Amino acid sequence: MPERLAVGIDVGGTKIAGGVVDEDGRILARTQRATPSTDPAAVLDAIAGIVEEFRDRYPVRAVGVGAAGYVDVTGSSVVFSPHLAWRNEPLRDAVVRRTRLPVLVDNDANAAGWAEWRFGAAQNLADVVLVNLGTGIGGAMVLDGKLYRGHSGMAGEFGHQRVVDDGLPCECGNRGCWEQYASGRVLERRARAAVAEGTDIGRALVELAGAVDLVDGATVGRLSSEGHEEAQAWVGDVGRWLGIGLANLAASLDPAIFVIGGGVSRTGEFLLQPARAAFAEHLTGRGYRSEARIVAAHLGNDAGLVGAADLARLRARRRRPASPGYSVRGPAVARSGRRRRRRPR
């Protein structure tokens, strides 16, 4: 049995997914529970319960928690979560007290980005940007082999760059944010309007979902994969806005690759082809620079728990205290984008 195992826990707005993860990113056991989103104490109970369940069967050495919210730069507290009742929640220390294990807490998108860099779509590349398309848009950056978290630990909130002056209102309080045009909420908004209007695609969505109240953005994705042309066009519109936003990010970050994760990424090339076209059209310096690749994430919904577990395992192995910027690094990466070969000892 592998010696260095960690528990990864991905806390989302509706579910808490947990798994035992080995050094190669393989999930040896998994579980899932509903998120008691209005009760921080109940969320802590659920996390601790998952850890104890796994410790009965595996020699777990550390716990990593990917939290759907803003995590402070020390990785100790969830400052704010839009979908959970966490407000300045000292989550790391609370989990340590309950489990008596080393604990790392990070944003869920950071954990997913780390997993894709270590084990998924972006292996062997020095500079990687993950864009997660779910209800909103989250993201993560692995730059020169290190997670970049920003001055206060809240970098990667890509969804709130403004792409339309005086555009659609956003939950953040601003208008015209990227996630209002290139996320799952766009597909859900259009789907619900079509259902209410009784259009052909609205009826097709209800039939596929099984009930009116089950129609959501994922239903549009499923319909597009079945060859429905209007659904494919809707996904293509999201892809075009995705490409525009990626071009903005490329102007600032110049990564080697964009990895597109989250539920909307399951629409595959219906999303990615228009995204690549719009990216090429709007990229600053186009024709005089290399273009970042745009690819789908490989690890799917497992990325968050795999990344959280790996970050926690690396931190526990090095026995370093939490520090600003999360100094955990993966295998050495050359600036050319390839891993450096280790010299034999």
- At 186 the pLDDT is 94
Looking only at the bridges linking them, the beta strands covering 127-133 and 257-261 are parallel
| Alpha carbons 71 and 3: distance in angstroms, whole number | 29
Q: Per residue in 102-138, pLDDT tens?
A: 999 999 999 999 999 999 999 989 899 999 998 889 8
Token code pair at residue 169 = 């209102």
Residue 82, pLDDT above cutoff 90: no
pLDDT band (50, 70, 90) for residue 154: confident
Residue range 25-43: average pLDDT?
Answer: 92
pTM: 0.85
Nearest CA-CA partner of 141 in 242, 222, 255: 255
Distances (CA, A) of 143 to 123, 195, 272: 13, 43, 23
The beta strands (E) that lie in the chain are given as 5-11, 15-21, 27-34, 60-67, 70-71, 78-80, 87-89, 103-107, 127-133, 137-143, 146-148, 257-261, 293-296
Residue 221, pLDDT above cutoff 50: yes
pLDDT band (50, 70, 90) for residue 12: confident
- At 322 the pLDDT is 44
| Alpha carbons 209 and 216: distance in angstroms, whole number | 8
Looking only at the bridges linking them, the beta strands covering 137-143 and 146-148 are antiparallel
Domains of the chain: 5-114 (3.30.420.40), 124-297 (3.30.420.40)
Q: Per residue in 315-334, pLDDT tens?
A: 988 764 444 344 455 555 54
Distances (CA, A) of 267 to 230, 281, 325: 14, 22, 34
Token code pair at residue 142 = 């692995």
Token code pair at residue 321 = 């205290």
Residue 155, pLDDT above cutoff 80: yes
Q: Per residue in 189-213, pLDDT tens?
A: 999 999 999 999 999 999 999 999 9
Mean pLDDT of the chain: 89
Nearest CA-CA partner of 251 in 161, 119, 345: 161
- At 13 the pLDDT is 79
Residue 342, pLDDT above cutoff 70: no
- At 101 the pLDDT is 95
pLDDT band (50, 70, 90) for residue 345: very low
Residue range 76-91: average pLDDT?
Answer: 88
Q: Per residue in 231-248, pLDDT tens?
A: 999 999 999 999 999 999
Q: Per residue in 156-186, pLDDT tens?
A: 889 899 999 999 998 888 999 999 999 999 9
| Alpha carbons 131 and 138: distance in angstroms, whole number | 6
Q: Per residue in 272-320, pLDDT tens?
A: 999 999 999 999 998 888 899 999 999 988 999 999 999 999 998 876 4
Q: Other CB atoms closer than 10 Å to residue 235's CB: what's the count?
A: 26
